[in-house]
Amino acid sequence: MVFIRNVMERGELWSTPPLPRTENVFLSGFQKYELNEIEPRRQLTIYPFVSTDFDGVGHDTDNKIGTDIYWRPTTNTLLSGTLNPDFGTVESDDVVVNLTAFETFFPEKRTFFLEGQDVFNTSPRSIAQNFSGPSGPMTMLNTRRIGGAARYQVPAGMVVKPTDLSQPTELLGAAKFTGQNGNLRYGALVASEDDSEIRGVLSDGTRANLQATGRDFTIGRLLYEDTSSGGRRSIGWMGTDVSHPDINSTVNAIDAHYFSADQRWVIDGQFMHSDVNGVTGSGFLGDISYTPTQGVQHIVRATYIDDEFDMNDVGFLARNSQMNLDYNFVLTESDVPGITSRTTTISSINQYNTDGRPVQVGQSIGRAWNYLNNDSFDLMFLYLPPRVDDRLGRGTGDFRIPERFNLRSNFSSDPANNLAWSLNLEASQEDLGPKVITSGAGIIWRPNDRFSFDLGLSYTDTEALLVHQGGGSYTSFEAHQWAPRLESNYFISSKQQFRISMQWNSLKAFEDRFWQVDPEKLQRLRPVTNPDNERDDFVISRLTFQARYRWEIAPLSDLFIVYTRGSNLPGNSFFTFQDLFEQAWNDRIVDSFAIKLRYRFGS
């Protein structure tokens, strides 16, 4: 057992036994305790809930009654289930503007799927916290797919609201079983979606219903671990299956892990195979971490994924067609006079597609300083050699991208102060070469332990934002983007909390130059004249606002009252940014008021 306390006013981590994070000993260094005369008993817990959700845009009311059930037949096993679940709107996703060819990853926030999820992690790359932006982790299980948007077949001439097409699918139920028997750990997850129905408008103005069949998900996991020698050796299997009239997707993987007894070596490997509607593919992930001494770490990541591998029906993979070999060196020094610590990071990115073309290559060096007054500053320089873009054109042709540079710096004041602030600046180059400048600032005010106010602001100025227009034609835009965010928490008492959060992301893009790819020859995009007299200028303005009150009536029993408001303005809304914000608040596409009561019964 270990006891850890984060002493914010000194920027230090106190623990007993003392285990610095730069040391390669952690779990094996814990103090061992033995508890006698403990009589574990079977536990059965039931969480019935009732919820009401009023839609202020559609003027509809949705009432729900359901329950979550947790049963521990032994201390090493847990069976959980949910019937007619209401995952509701108690938390909102980040507002993201993504103009790339890659999907944005959104982390799971639903308690039922988060609990006991660690057994389904087959690789260090499954951890979502290590990734951001439109990339994401490589994970066989992305539970956000379960209950995601239904797959509608919209006939030609029918108009359907985008918000209806993207709305979550109701779940009939889900069940999860996890446990351990000796050295064997296991887990299983099943979930079934309800059929969905939305309304559309035909070309003659008549209304028609559009239906979609729900999907069935099955996930299984086995993991054998041996820690008798002081280290860790394990081998596991995981399989996923998605069943639907239009989808028959199965993915299987074998993973192996080694953690040396001297805590120096950590090796993880994974072989994967997919079969989606008869099309098969395979992939491999290999990670090696070597810590020869305290504060020194070498990390090597190898990846091979063929063109046909696909696990995105229930997992997450930003792209297939990968042959990668990446290296990271991390040096953390805690004995430098005048500062608390200094961290140096050197990285080499070598990522190619299966045709042998470089799609993401670069070398970087960075350093971070933590000062005695608990301020911090970091600086990183990144060099990106020429590469090939094989995704932005969506199959219309690859093109070369010239070498580019990137410089980033961040400063943060002591986070333990009542008033803390941060500044960041990033100067980089777009795919065509011209610069991109991103600047940001943040302020956190905590006058006491019951109230906090966190405000952040980011501004990006882009000279040549490249957007594919179809058929291998591209337009580069001069673009300006504002992205403020706000979160404030007020703890009325130890059991009551009121939280306000808001994010707005607005981009205005003005056409500048026009480009065309050569599908027969791999070269840089060639400039062309304006193909038409229509302006390609566009605006993106998305806003999410949420006010949430939570009252903990009893342990693990809560009352939620949540108001959510959101908007997504049409692309021709050319106003000043101030007017865009005002219009984004007024022209809502989401306006919901929800009340949810969840109460715990059980042993």
When pLDDT is cut at 50, 70 and 90, the band that residue 132 belongs to is: very low
Residue 87: inside a domain: yes
Collapsing DSSP to helix, strand or coil, 453 comes out as strand
Q: Could you give the CA distance from residue 339 to residue 296 in angstroms, rounded to a whole number?
A: 18
pLDDT, tens digit, 9 for 90 and up, residues 185-195: 999 999 999 99
Asked if the model's pLDDT at residue 27 lies above 80, the reply is no
Q: Could you give the CA distance from residue 87 to residue 170 in angstroms, rounded to a whole number?
A: 9
Beta-bridge partner residues of 438: 426, 460
Tokens describing residue 490: 């007020």
Domain co-membership, 494 together with 575: yes
Beta-bridge partner residues of 391: none
Residue 32 DSSP label: P
> Last residue of a domain, which of 256, 283, 313?
313
Q: Could you give the CA distance from residue 250 to residue 10 in angstroms, rounded to a whole number?
A: 51
Q: Could you give the CA distance from residue 303 to residue 322 in angstroms, rounded to a whole number?
A: 7
When pLDDT is cut at 50, 70 and 90, the band that residue 133 belongs to is: very low
pLDDT, tens digit, 9 for 90 and up, residues 312-324: 999 999 999 999 9
Residue 374: inside a domain: no
Domain co-membership, 58 together with 154: no
Domain co-membership, 141 together with 227: yes
Taking the CB of residue 238, how many other CB atoms lie within 10 A of it?
24
Q: Could you give the CA distance from residue 268 to residue 253 in angstroms, rounded to a whole number?
A: 13
Asked if the model's pLDDT at residue 7 lies above 90, the reply is no
pTM over 0.75: yes
254: containing domain: 1-39+103-293+302-313
Q: Which residue has the tokens 């966190």?
A: 454
Residue 383: inside a domain: no
Domain co-membership, 465 together with 499: yes
In what helix (H) or strand (E) does residue 347 lie, and over which residues does it extend?
strand 339-352
Domain co-membership, 108 together with 253: yes
pLDDT, tens digit, 9 for 90 and up, residues 84-112: 876 655 667 788 888 888 888 888 888 78
CB-CB contact of 5 with 15 (8 Å): yes
Tokens describing residue 12: 């230090």
Taking the CB of residue 138, how many other CB atoms lie within 10 A of it?
23
357-371: average pLDDT: 96
pLDDT, tens digit, 9 for 90 and up, residues 415-449: 989 999 999 999 999 889 889 999 999 999 999 99
- In the chain, what's the furthest Cα-to-Cα distance? 83
Q: Could you give the CA distance from residue 586 to residue 36 in angstroms, rounded to a whole number?
A: 63
240-263: average pLDDT: 94
Q: Could you give the CA distance from residue 91 to residue 144 in angstroms, rounded to a whole number?
A: 14
Asked if the model's pLDDT at residue 8 lies above 60, the reply is no
533-558: average pLDDT: 92
Domain co-membership, 191 together with 51: no
Q: Which amino acid is at 505?
A: N
Domain co-membership, 199 together with 137: yes
The percentage of residues in the chain with a pLDDT greater than 70, rounded to a whole number, is 91
Domain co-membership, 87 together with 206: no
Q: How many domains does the chain have?
A: 2
Number of H-type helices and E-type strands within the chain: 3, 32
Q: Which of 253, 367, 351 has its CA nearest to residue 301?
A: 351
What's the half-sphere exposure (Cβ side, CA atoms, 13 Å) at 361? 17
Domain co-membership, 126 together with 88: no
- What value does the mean pLDDT of the chain take? 89
When pLDDT is cut at 50, 70 and 90, the band that residue 43 belongs to is: confident
204-212: average pLDDT: 85
Domain co-membership, 276 together with 420: no
Residue 68: inside a domain: no
Tokens describing residue 89: 């709107």
